[in-house]
Amino acid sequence: MASLGNRVHRDQYDAVVTDCLFCRIVSGQIPATVVTETDTTLAFRDIDPKAPTHVLVIPKEHHPAIGDVDPVLAGQILATAHQVAKAEGVDESGYRLVFNTGGDGGQTVFHVHCHVLGGRGLTWPPG
């Protein structure tokens, strides 16, 4: 079982997975505009985009945060993110990959996900 950090107690783990928005997208219970899919990852458009290109890349397995993901799967998430950037035509002009982790990090869905943002100049620092 993956570590759930301070926000979720172990006895709530099954409810988190059952009620996980992204797990429901992976299972097809909730529709999403899929950009690409691999055996281990799914990439789909964010429903509240913050840039012309805003795609989320998630592992198909439930992992609450990036620290819960093994290095091989983390690499697969990054490889899928790069595929998305190429497919969206932002790989040469530039794009940003963002992992929000934990409440203070801005994570609102506790299923690890990588934001692929591009299609315009992005400022620093973010929010």
Give the active site residues. 113
In what helix (H) or strand (E) does residue 54 lie, and over which residues does it extend?
strand 53-59
Output the CA–CA distances (angstroms, integers) from residue 104 to 29, 67, 99, 100, 101, in the order listed: 29, 15, 12, 9, 8
Do 12 and 6 touch, CB atoms closer than 8 A? no
- What distance in Å separates the CA atoms of residue 74 and residue 90, rounded to the nearest whole number? 21
